[in-house]
Amino acid sequence: MDTRLSGDVIVVGGGVIGLATAVVLAERGLRVRVWTRDPVERTTSAVAGALWWPYHIEPMVSARAWALRSLEIYEELAERPGETGVRLVDGILGETDLDEVEGWAAGRLVGLRRTTAHEYGAGTGVRARLPLIDMSAYLPWLRRRLLRAGGTVEERTVTDLAEAEAPVVVNCTGLDAGRLAADPSVRPVRGQLVVVENPGIDTWLVSTGPDGETAYLFPHAGRLVLGGTAQDDVWSLEPDPKVAEAIVRRCAALRPEVAGARILEHRVGLRPVRGTVRLERAELPDGRTVVHHYGHGGAGVTVAWGCAEEAAGLVLPAAS
């Protein structure tokens, strides 16, 4: 089947995984439509802290390969930060061993080294310059790139993947895949963020305390994103004031100037976690091809491009 003449691909899901996959397919010559329940700016991806790092995702070996491929692309996009929302920013990842990081990312991370006690007194850590993505700019940029490649984006709620009338359907529905793909292994891990005015912090920091609670600070122009939480199997999208207070308190313990920063916004998102990412070709009941591409947990932004290219490899044989 020649999709250039007879049909197209419908990507269901307009988050970062769906958009990146659609861009790769469209730029390889396919006619691509994205169906998204929510506007791109209101998907789960829009809530992401969006520091490049493979977090809360399995299988880790594949995730790291996808992440390193994505890193190449983010480094290119960081040359145009005002357009793409991608910057390379220095920061510290606490409770992390340099040897372990070098085991999979040796030679690829700019400025990678152990932290000094002066830089991070809470314990062992590494310092590196990593992509930090402003999702409020990046998601609209991805959509524009898709449109330039001839793709389209339509806001549409899907109750059954069979509704997507195309030769090939790509299922990038994240948490909704539990219902649409009848996959009970998909579950939410709730994340809550607090956005405050930036008091002058220009480096990022991720730290895990003795109680296992994580604190992170991600600087953007005029604002600072504070996190975070990882609440298993919690579906609520309502910000919890007590959780917000705890987030600010943990972050202020690391950077005292945060304590007096004016709160601009509260955000909540549900990470689509699965035992492992599902990336495979299957069939719909009527025999059409579906490529399942979901379960990226808290690392969707980190692995998006590498994963999208692998997904495209599954789509193209079925579409030819």
44 assigned binding-site residue: yes
Contact between residue 94 and residue 122 where contact means Cβ atoms under 8 Å apart: yes
300 assigned binding-site residue: yes
Question: 58-62: long-range contacts (C-beta < 8 A, 24 or more apart)?
Answer: 58/275, 58/276, 58/277, 58/297, 59/276, 59/277, 62/277
45 assigned binding-site residue: yes
Contact between residue 142 and residue 50 where contact means Cβ atoms under 8 Å apart: no
Look up residue 5 and give its two tokens: 């003449």
302 assigned binding-site residue: yes
Site of tokens 């524009």: 144
87 assigned binding-site residue: no
Residue 130 CA from chain centroid, whole number: 14
236 assigned binding-site residue: no
21 assigned binding-site residue: no
Q: Is the peptide bond before 228 cis (omega within 30 degrees of 0)?
A: yes
End-to-end CA distance of the chain, in Å? 5
138 assigned binding-site residue: no
Contact between residue 226 and residue 193 where contact means Cβ atoms under 8 Å apart: yes
User: How crowded is residue 309: how many other Cβ atoms within 10 Å of its Cβ?
Assistant: 18
3-state helix, strand, coil in the chain (%, to 5): 35, 30, 30
Q: Which residues are annotated as a binding site for FAD?
A: 44-45, 173, 297-302
Q: Which residues are annotated as a binding site for D-dopa?
A: 216, 271, 298
Q: Which residues are annotated as a binding site?
A: 44-45, 173, 216, 271, 297-302
